[in-house]
Amino acid sequence: MARKADGAASGSAAPIDLIGEAGRQWDKHWGHDAVPSMVATTSIMRAQQILMARLNEILDRFDLTFPRYEALMLLYLSSRGSLPLGKIGERLQVHRTSVTNLVDGLERSAYVERVPHDSDRRMMLAVITPAGRSAAGEATRELNAAQFATAPLTNADLETMTAVLLKLRADADGFPPG
């Protein structure tokens, strides 16, 4: 994830903390009040970019992206190896069109099949295939071994962050915060 060096335009090729620099600009123009929230929000956006790129790189050889991996794992861990499409969207908290795209991608890799529900033929189920089950297991072993791309964070760092984000998620998603 090295940034492109652009010596001519930047005057220097040494990477700097761009979000820290934004914080200093904010302080100067608008005072300190919103600095902690601006810096934290922007840091989450950047962390998501970093993690998504690293995870997608690990998953590439399984013909998966992280969002498709998440959908596949819902099926892998479900008691019947199948879920209605609507339920997948509910669990991943994404729109119907995103579920369609995810399941399309998994179907192209032959990891999932669409099958009508037994008792309600209008409801479509996504069913994990043996190939999908095998890819899910292998990909999970790789992600576990790579600590989900979180280097160089320690378990203490990760648990600290998870606890803070739990407050945000509980508020937004409407469940009791622990």
34 vs 19, 29, 73, 164, CA distance in Å? 14, 11, 38, 18
Applying the rule CB under 8 A, the residues between 108 and 167 that interact with a copy of itself are: 140-141, 143-145, 147-153, 155, 157-162, 164-167
| H-helix or E-strand spanning residue 66 | helix 66-77
8 A C-beta contact, residue 127 and residue 113: yes
8 A C-beta contact, residue 58 and residue 149: yes
Among 52, 63, 82, 129, binds a copy of itself (CB under 8 A): 52
8 A C-beta contact, residue 63 and residue 151: no
Q: Is 62 in the site for a copy of itself (CB under 8 A)?
A: no
Is the CB of 22 or the CB of 127 nearer to a copy of itself? Answer: 22
Span of 56-64, 65-73, 107-115, 126-134 interacting with a copy of itself by CB under 8 A: 65-73
Is the CB of 110 or the CB of 167 nearer to a copy of itself? Answer: 167
Please state the closest distance from residue 165 (CB atom) to a copy of itself, in A.
4
Q: Which residues is 126 bridged to in the sheet?
A: 83, 114
Is the CB of 98 or the CB of 110 nearer to a copy of itself? Answer: 98
